[in-house]
Amino acid sequence: MNRKELLAIADHWFTNQGWKPFPFQKQTWNAYLKGKNGLLNAPTGSGKTYALWVPIVLEYLKQNPDYKTKPEKGLKAIWITPLRALSVEIAQAATRFAEETQSGLTVGIRTGDTTQKERAAQKKSMPDLLITTPESLHLLLSSKNYPKLFKNLNAIVVDEWHELLGSKRGVQTELALSRLKTVAENLKIWGISATIGNLPQAQEVLLGAESEALQNSTLIKANIQKQIEVKSIIPQSMEKFPWRGHLGLHLLDEVVPIINNSKTTLIFTNTRSQCELWFQKLMNKYPEFAGEVAMHHGSINKETRLWVEQAIRNESLKAVICTSSLDLGVDFAPVETIIQIGGPKGVARFLQRAGRSGHQPGKASRIYFLPTHAIELIEASALQKAVAKKAVEDRIPYLQSFDVLVQYLTTLAVSDGFYPKEIYPEIKSTFCFQGLTEDEWRWCLNFITKGSQSLQSYDEYKKVEIEEDGKFKVNHRGVAMRHRLQIGTIVSDAMLTVKYVKGGFIGTIEEYFVSKLTPGDVFTFAGRNLELSRIKGMQVLVRKSKKKTAKVPSWMGGRMTFSAQMSGLLREELYEAAESVGSNSKKRSPEMVALQPILERQQLESIIPKQNQFLIETFKTREGYHAIFYPFEGRFVHEALGSLLAYRISLLSPISFSIAFNDYGFELLSDQEIDMQQVLDNNLFSSEFLMDDLYKSLNATEMARRKFRDIAVVAGLVFTGYPNKLIKNKHLQSSSQLLFDVFRDYEDDNLLFQQAFRETFEHQLEEGRLRQALERIHSQQIVWKACQKPTPFSFPIITDRLREKLSSEKLEDRIQRMLKYLNK
């Protein structure tokens, strides 16, 4: 069959469904059948699965003209998806086409949810298309004889590549691809990505820097224009609007008519605990919703999640309260409306969520923004502009992630073993490790074999062994087992299973939260109030409780930052707000009109900074002396600026700070008065010696320490065990906090230790943005307001509990001063 005949099969099938292929689908079919690699830029629910699955099937038909009588066994294509939840839908779509064209191809799923029995069956006889996650793919690479599994692979499709790109799972994907390119000769690699700022780079990262695959590749854009309506939910009276708070429950009643007027509504919250609270409160106040409103987040068990997803499709739910767990995925056709509670922190994410609604062709997506505190109204206004301008942000790929590399090398050593000479060029060909030097490579090899760079006498380090012929291999069963359990780069606190005493799995919960409970305590989980009975191994045993009030688990993570674009738009909004106070201009947005009372209050007690002004406020409360700075640059830049400034001030005289930050500004809080005049006189916002000072301030704060936590787990320095599996830890528990100290004191040239600092610079502090921010501040007039009490702008910052610390005082002096205060 030639290409034309093959495409006719696809066209025929589309016609039978009553569909017409989109131009981007046809373009992709053609490019694939010409043997090209590529990146497809298409939004969720646009038919992207058929854009790539169709030509994969067609290629098989071409390669095996006798496919009906003599089917060719074995794996032909892999579909990588970041979320397990997506795999079912992809499988359904793929199966439909494979069956109706009588190709005889089979589709299977292999993720963390796949049972042991299914896995074993798959090992014996692989499906033709395997839908899996990056972690599960690496697990396959850790099994014996893996090259045999993959040798007839024609295609790998990496779905939602934009989600993986900016994370270490992206690096994991790059590494797996580098191996499979060698193992499978006829391999074509395709990515599917939503719109992000750096699509060409996304293509390069996927295919490898300067690789053959990249040269033979193409970027296809779906160019589907979708109309998006954005509305803010503005309270009737601003008096009740809190200055701070992140739950938004005061606007609960406003949400009800929106739910009632729409077929199905998805309500996105930023954290799982917020999700639980919203569900609970909505059910308490509007019991008539029982059975019509459900909840969906990553800690709820798989069956419930799948049930909710199916119920959305069946139109049997009016609303679902969810987290990013429903960000991705295939069509939920009945969804007409989205509500975003609290700032989404990024334009791309906001657009993506909006895109979950109005899937029918020609229908607009409708999204409501529900601000959780007054100042977020400014954000709402900025978001609308961002949506109009489609100002989406970049996803920054990771570079030189040694933690993922040593994990990958150990993975290869666990399966068939590897020869460094063969693997090195593959690794060098990835985007992440294009800059890997021979020295660094040797370092990694030493690390997995000797656990250090110099051979130590009587050392008992055991992991990877070098066999006589130079093969790197893991021969110890315990090491292999622990490694397999550790594969993956998503790091979380140890997860415990929540179960009823009488049996029945409810979900998983972080150890951190459970450790604060004692038996008898009642907490809310999965929409139920549960009483803790006892903790048994890795299981939390609970009973249903009738108590009304309960603690809500706080899940870690979920702290995101504004992108540069969003911060820019936010500043513009604010400058306009400053101009608008007191005026009656008709041009003001409804958000700004609603904000007037608060803006006026801010103006009264301090100022609203204008474009050429940089505002600093100082005031004293019971807690101590506060100094608030407002660069409006996003959380991460503020975290860096905050510690930089704290460090520089601490050089002037011994002082201790607690530093808080949000997307608008940061606070330095001290028990001593900060001499602001001295700060200004000494030009402490200078960008001179920026990196040096930052590095020193990092040493003094916890930022790098927190990064190291993840690195230590990925690199296998800490053994965390595995959810749902009770594994004897054999005295192998330790906190990564302790590890950090040991490395700092004894091996600070360790590449993994240094990586913690590098990652903080590259991914957290965003040096480029920081420099720009300092330059902008330099060009602005600094306005220092000594205020009587906290101002509206300062409120969300000073009440934030997540804080950095920095001190230049002698420890003993600090203790003595604390004691003096305590004993007062």
Partner 1 sequence: MKTLDVFLGTEKVEFHPFGTVFWKSKKILLIADVHLGKIGHFRKHGSAIPADSIQKNFEKLTEIIKKYHPEKIIFLGDLFHSSLNYEWKLFEKWVEKQTAEIILIEGNHDIISPLNYQELGIKTQKELILNKFLLTHHPEERKGYFTICGHLHPGFKLAGRGKQVLKLRCFYKTENQLVLPAFGEFTGNYWVQPEPEDKIFVCTPTEVIAIN
Footprint of partner 1 (CB under 8 A): 447, 451-452, 456, 458-463, 478-479, 482-483, 623-625, 656-658, 669-671, 716-719, 730-732, 734-735, 737-739, 742-743, 745-747, 750, 803, 805, 811-812, 814-819, 821-822
Give the C-alpha separation, 181 to 229, whole Å: 44
Compute the least distance from the CB of residue 263 to partner 1, in Å. Answer: 48
Compute the least distance from the CB of residue 477 to partner 1, in Å. Answer: 12
Given the complex with partner 1, which of 312 and 739 has the nearer CB atom? 739
β-bridge partners, 658: 669, 805
Compute the least distance from the CB of residue 414 to partner 1, in Å. Answer: 11
Given the complex with partner 1, which of 64 and 799 has the nearer CB atom? 799
Phi and psi dihedrals of 818, rounded to 5?
-65, -40
Given the complex with partner 1, which of 197 and 451 has the nearer CB atom? 451
Given the complex with partner 1, which of 489 and 656 has the nearer CB atom? 656
Compute the least distance from the CB of residue 543 to partner 1, in Å. Answer: 27
- Give the Cβ contact number of residue 622 at 10 Å: 4
Give the C-alpha separation, 544 to 514, whole Å: 16
Give the tokens for residue 332: 């939920």
Compute the least distance from the CB of residue 669 to partner 1, in Å. Answer: 5
Given the complex with partner 1, which of 393 and 639 has the nearer CB atom? 639
Given the complex with partner 1, which of 643 and 750 has the nearer CB atom? 750
Give the C-alpha separation, 308 to 530, whole Å: 21
Compute the least distance from the CB of residue 407 to partner 1, in Å. Answer: 12
Give the C-alpha separation, 753 to 738, whole Å: 13
Given the complex with partner 1, which of 170 and 716 has the nearer CB atom? 716
Q: Which of 282, 293, 262 is nearest to 356 (CA)?
A: 262
Hey, what long-range contacts does 611-616 have (CB within 8 A, 24 or more apart)? Answer: 611/571, 611/575, 612/779, 612/780, 612/781, 613/780, 613/781, 613/782, 613/783, 614/777, 614/780, 614/781, 614/782, 614/783, 615/783, 615/785, 615/793, 616/676, 616/782, 616/783, 616/784, 616/785
Given the complex with partner 1, which of 179 and 463 has the nearer CB atom? 463
Compute the least distance from the CB of residue 331 to partner 1, in Å. Answer: 45
* Cα Rg, the chain, nearest whole Å: 28
- Angle at the Cα of 320 from the Cα atoms of 317 and 321, rounded to 5 degrees: 160
Given the complex with partner 1, which of 615 and 712 has the nearer CB atom? 712
Cβ atoms of 404 and 176 within 8 Å: the answer is no
Helix (H) or strand (E) holding 645: helix 635-652
Give the C-alpha separation, 545 to 572, whole Å: 50
Given the complex with partner 1, which of 22 and 447 has the nearer CB atom? 447
Q: Give the position of tokens 């005082």.
A: 809
Compute the least distance from the CB of residue 413 to partner 1, in Å. Answer: 11
The full DSSP string for 377-389 is: HHHHHHHHHHHHH
Q: Which of 613, 705, 695 is nearest to 648 (CA)?
A: 695
Q: Which of 319, 322, 350 is nearest to 335 (CA)?
A: 319
- Give the Cβ contact number of residue 776 at 10 Å: 15
Given the complex with partner 1, which of 508 and 656 has the nearer CB atom? 656
Q: Where are the beta strands (DSSP E) in 312-446?
A: 319-322, 335-341, 365-370
Q: Which of 656, 649, 647 is nearest to 680 (CA)?
A: 649
Sign of CA dihedral 662, 326, 77, 404: positive
Given the complex with partner 1, which of 290 and 811 has the nearer CB atom? 811
Compute the least distance from the CB of residue 804 to partner 1, in Å. Answer: 11
Compute the least distance from the CB of residue 199 to partner 1, in Å. Answer: 39
Compute the least distance from the CB of residue 537 to partner 1, in Å. Answer: 17
Compute the least distance from the CB of residue 451 to partner 1, in Å. Answer: 4
